[in-house]
Structure 1
Amino acid sequence: MSTPTRASVGFRSERGPILIALMLTTGLVAIDSTILATAVPSIVQDLGGFAQFPWLFSVYLLAQAASVPVYAKLSDMVGRKPIILIGIGLFLLGSVLCGFAWSMPALIAFRAVQGLGAGAVQPMAITIAGDIYTVAERAKTQGYLASVWAISSVVGPTLGGVFSQFASWRWIFFVNVPLCILAAWMLMRTFHEKIEKRRHRVDYAGATLLTLGMSLLILAVLEGGQAWAWDSLWSIGAFVLAALLLVAFVLVERRAAEPVLPLWMFSRRLLVTTTLISLGVGAILIGLTSYVPTYLEGTIHVAPLVSGLAVAALTLGWPIAASLSGRFYLRIGFRNTALLGTTIAIVGALALAITSTHPSVAFVAISCFIVGLGMGLIATPTLIAAQSSVGWSERGVVTGTNLFARSIGSSVGVAVFGAIANAIIAESAGGEHDPATVQAASTAVFVAVAVVAVLTIAAGFAMPRARVEDVELSRQAPSPTD
């Protein structure tokens, strides 16, 4: 593994060029997650397939989420650098293919290639940061990485609108080409690893069963109530087949020499609780980013750009709190910092629900900012606690599992919040475009987000009271797989 000299955390330090490269690679995924939304009308006008366009988002999320555990395990076997470069290469290939797409089905297929690349890029960037920075330094570096998402939440939709209006929607994909090349060049030039050479037994069976099982499960959750009814044959069949594949996966992992998702992870209280917290973070995040714009646009008819800026307040609060979280967990511990963050998130979510009867962009932005502060104090310390509790050879799979849980939380959140909103809309006489109906549905979702935050704080209370010194010492303990 890489063992650079410890210096100050910043762009001018010895590790500064690596941090810049990681921020650039993170930016590829962050911008892509927001730039497409504003270009959808132009894409549909050019390619047709209006009924199919939601798959542009679903297939990307599906490919990204399902591939994360596999990449994470491979990075523990062969190193982070080759995996993140493979991810950048796939993302570049997918971007070029999307730019030349000739039909909606082709664009959907090429978005899946992009998703496979994103599945390697994001977790590897966070894992590399965990490798080269100490526990005390990681909060600030995670704040830098989180700030990329804050910037992208504003830059992405703006670029998407500019390209669609003044050039072509295809440029939202072509713009990734120079960014991918620059990111790959910087990583190859600045980031160097020393990997212990030994033979590995790749868990092909486990990787296949996990990918297929989780793909079916995420697909069933994303499309349930949308593409098909929850009680339809398609929905039931997808859930049943996913369950069977995952049961087979567990049986295979119990005998695998180097399992793609080691079962010992589920016997460690710290890893289990931080994974559950990550599930809650994913659900809270998707609940607000999905329904705040709908609420503002449907009740007081603000422009999409204004509603987007209100959501951006959440991604502004997140990196601010994340960069400061190190001061908290070094003093009061990981558990208490996470509990503090969850309490703040609950306050923000309740404020959003209570004030939703009087729609206001200012109230929404302030509430989202408060939730963002809470998220920064939840997500960053719990991820760092999980990373720091294991050695290099296990950090990739631990980081990947944490981010994978966040993706699952978002997927389940989409389904649950959508079911809540649709139930209220179905009972309303005004229809889905009636401001009162939109307000009622959004308020119910905001209350549900607050409930998720309460459940998340319950997982926080279950975290062990490990001090930073205890976690760092545990890294020296023999690996359970040795």
Structure 2
Amino acid sequence: MPKETNRPFVLAAVMLAMFVGAVEATIVTTAMPTIASELGGFSRYSWIFSSYLLMSTVTVLIYGKLADLFGRKPIFFMGVTIFLIGSILCGFAVSMEQLIVYRLIQGLGAGAVMPIATTIIGDIYSTEERAKIQGYLSSVWGVSAVSGPVIGGLIVQYVSWQYIFWVNVPLGLLSMGVIYFFLHEPKETQKASVDYKGAFLLTSALSTLLIWLVEGGQGFGRFSTFGIALIILSGISFWLFFRQEKLAKDPLISFSIWKNPVILYANLVSLTTGVILIGVSSYLPTYVSGVMEQPAIIAGFTLTAMSIGWPLASSLAGHLLIRFGPFLVSFAGGVSLVIGTTMFVFMTSTLGPVWAGFSSFFIGVGMGLTNTSFIVTIQGAVPRVQRGSATAANMFMKNFGNTVGASVFGAILNGALITYFTKEKLPYTIDHVNTLLTKDGRSMITSQELVSLQSGLDSSLHWVYITIALFAVISLLLILRIPRGKVTDHVNH
């Protein structure tokens, strides 16, 4: 590496950029009720999250590839610039539809931030150092997941919701400035060719699948003619995408690196842990507020326990990886995920928020151990020219898990609630559950209604938790397939 790179400065800038990108997925959660009441269009609610996740998931792979071809810096700048333009526009949105379009632009840029930030770290640190540094980077995820809603709540309460988006601008510019002056990369000598056809097919495959997952059962029947047409279109696009990747000179996903069992199983586990993470962070507060009747701040604290476990386990993973290798560290993480999710299955309203907090702490520990060992191992398993693509493929799987999980758990919860109300012959709809989530809402209904709605929510959320636990068991089984051995660093040049 050229000597001029100032590693501590670059690390700080990378962590700042990652924080801004990661927090943007969650900071909106607390502000959404305010934004929805101001802009109208409650039926489009979930698209504010889905549009951002969709674009950042789809573009992760494209940016990873571009970073391998053109160098990390120019692509990082391009991504952050698009992200900041989207952020500024979001603050000026006057309707839900406009906001969704601007969130798509934001997500389009955010896709560059995560994989390239992680790849830059892979370039400037050796494997031994990377294991420790990766602990810091992983904890950015945990911290942003939990601090996002809090920061969002404070901004909405004391300033106005527009600033949730505008606060990104000075932070993003600062990060770009530091990277510009302090990161010096070797010149790239490759002839560049980007697989645009593959990118288009992948976008079409994922978009149609997501529309089916998010809108199915709301905007149209999942198995109506339109619903089935979407599934078929998605399937054909995936098939064409895989065919295109085999033919392309510079494929978007080089399936050759997936033949490496470490990469294959690490990516599959990242998909299942992505599903678990979104399930816990979306539906634990609902249980604590609705069934345990705790205020929002307590519901928030039960999730904070996860963000305490996560960075602790991440920094510990860095030290353990060098001594014991990736298999044992990720196995310990998998066991911790199973313990945490099993505690959710057995959670009752009488056990109180402390039980919920401990469960989410175990899940945080599991996330910290698995995520850190995977990124370090994957980056060590490929040469520098493939590191951007390999890192991006792992992020893609994690994001894809988040996106699919959000839709699947939403469908399970809604389905279970409707079934419960029908079976018990209760005259409620899903929207009645909203009254349980605040003290004011609960005071407006009779005690009999309260009991029947709560037992409905309780039993329905348990189906969600059982599914989350199932994904934890699958994660553990997949981890058992990871080859044993120490972390090795591939030739860096």
TM-score (norm 2): 0.90
Structure 1 residue 448: deviation in Å?
1.6
Change (3 A) 1:271 1:149: closer
* Pair 1:462 & 2:488 matched: no
Cα separation, 1, equivalents of 2:48 and 2:415: 25
Q: Is the CA contact (8 Å cut-off) linking 1:356 and 1:443 kept in structure 2?
A: no
Residue aligning to 1:476:
491
- Equivalent positions of 1:206-245 (< 5 A) are 206-245=198-237
Q: Give 2:380's aligned amino acid.
A: S
* Pair 1:306 & 2:321 matched: no
Q: Is the CA contact (8 Å cut-off) linking 1:296 and 1:359 kept in structure 2?
A: no
Residue aligning to 1:11:
none
Q: Is the CA contact (8 Å cut-off) linking 1:62 and 1:219 kept in structure 2?
A: no
Structure 1 residue 411: deviation in Å?
2.4
Structure 1, unmatched stretches of 5+, are: 7-13
Q: Is the CA contact (8 Å cut-off) linking 1:4 and 1:132 kept in structure 2?
A: no
1:249 aligned to which of 241, 260, 265: 241
Structure 1 residue 236: deviation in Å?
1.6
Residue aligning to 1:76:
68
1:449 aligned to which of 468, 473, 488: 468
- Equivalent positions of 1:315-330 (< 5 A) are 315-330=307-322
Q: What whole-Å deviation, never above 9, does each CA across 1:158-180 have from its counterpart, x for those lacking one?
A: 33223323322111111111111
* Pair 1:38 & 2:30 matched: yes
Cα separation, 2, equivalents of 1:380 and 1:232: 42
Cα separation, 2, equivalents of 1:217 and 1:111: 19
Change (3 A) 1:310 1:28: same
Cα separation, 1, equivalents of 2:378 and 2:3: 22
Q: Give 1:448's aligned amino acid.
A: T
Q: What whole-Å deviation, never above 9, does each CA across 1:9-59 have from its counterpart, x for those lacking one?
A: xxxxx4110110011101111221222111122222322222222211111
2:90 aligned to which of 77, 91, 98: 98
Secondary structure of 1:53 counterpart:
helix
- Equivalent positions of 1:48-127 (< 5 A) are 48-127=40-119
Structure 1 residue 151: deviation in Å?
3.3
Q: What whole-Å deviation, never above 9, does each CA across 1:215-270 have from its counterpart, x for those lacking one?
A: 22233233333433321223222221111112112222222111111121332212
Secondary structure of 1:225 counterpart:
coil
Residue aligning to 2:439:
none
Structure 1 residue 368: deviation in Å?
0.4
Choose 102-111 or 145-154, whichever is displaced more: 145-154
Q: Is the CA contact (8 Å cut-off) linking 1:209 and 1:248 kept in structure 2?
A: yes
Q: Is the CA contact (8 Å cut-off) linking 1:209 and 1:246 kept in structure 2?
A: yes
Q: What whole-Å deviation, never above 9, does each CA across 1:121-158 have from its counterpart, x for those lacking one?
A: 01111111111122222232222123333433443223
Secondary structure of 1:168 counterpart:
coil
Change (3 A) 1:222 1:397: farther
Secondary structure of 1:466 counterpart:
coil
1:28 aligned to which of 12, 20, 24: 20
Cα separation, 2, equivalents of 1:249 and 1:154: 36
Residue aligning to 1:425:
417
Cα separation, 2, equivalents of 1:221 and 1:265: 29
Structure 2, unmatched stretches of 5+, are: 434-452
Secondary structure of 1:333 counterpart:
helix
Cα separation, 2, equivalents of 1:463 and 1:219: 34
Of all paired residues, the percent bearing the same amino acid is: 37
Change (3 A) 1:217 1:394: same
Cα separation, 2, equivalents of 1:3 and 1:361: 52
Cα separation, 2, equivalents of 1:141 and 1:224: 42
Give the superposed CA RMSD: 2.0
Structure 1 residue 71: deviation in Å?
0.7
Change (3 A) 1:230 1:3: farther
Q: Is the CA contact (8 Å cut-off) linking 1:136 and 1:330 kept in structure 2?
A: yes
Cα separation, 1, equivalents of 2:62 and 2:348: 42
Cα separation, 2, equivalents of 1:223 and 1:138: 41
Q: Is the CA contact (8 Å cut-off) linking 1:321 and 1:377 kept in structure 2?
A: yes
Aligned length, in residue pairs: 466
- Equivalent positions of 1:194-205 (< 5 A) are 194-205=186-197
Q: Give 1:344's aligned amino acid.
A: S
Change (3 A) 1:235 1:157: same
Q: What whole-Å deviation, never above 9, does each CA across 1:402-437 have from its counterpart, x for those lacking one?
A: 111112222222233233322321222355531111
Cα separation, 1, equivalents of 2:28 and 2:92: 15
* Pair 1:275 & 2:267 matched: yes
Q: Give 2:208's aligned amino acid.
A: L
- Equivalent positions of 1:172-187 (< 5 A) are 172-187=164-179
Structure 1 residue 74: deviation in Å?
0.8
Q: Is the CA contact (8 Å cut-off) linking 1:4 and 1:15 kept in structure 2?
A: no
Structure 1 residue 89: deviation in Å?
0.3
Change (3 A) 1:353 1:452: same
Residue aligning to 1:10:
none
Cα separation, 2, equivalents of 1:392 and 1:57: 33
Cα separation, 1, equivalents of 2:350 and 2:12: 43
Cα separation, 2, equivalents of 1:377 and 1:326: 9
Cα separation, 1, equivalents of 2:226 and 2:298: 39
* Pair 1:438 & 2:453 matched: no
Cα separation, 1, equivalents of 2:188 and 2:21: 30
Secondary structure of 1:260 counterpart:
coil
Q: Is the CA contact (8 Å cut-off) linking 1:35 and 1:160 kept in structure 2?
A: yes
TM-score (norm 1): 0.92
Q: Give 1:476's aligned amino acid.
A: V
Change (3 A) 1:126 1:223: farther
Change (3 A) 1:417 1:44: closer
Q: Give 1:76's aligned amino acid.
A: D
Structure 1 residue 392: deviation in Å?
0.7
Residue aligning to 2:400:
408
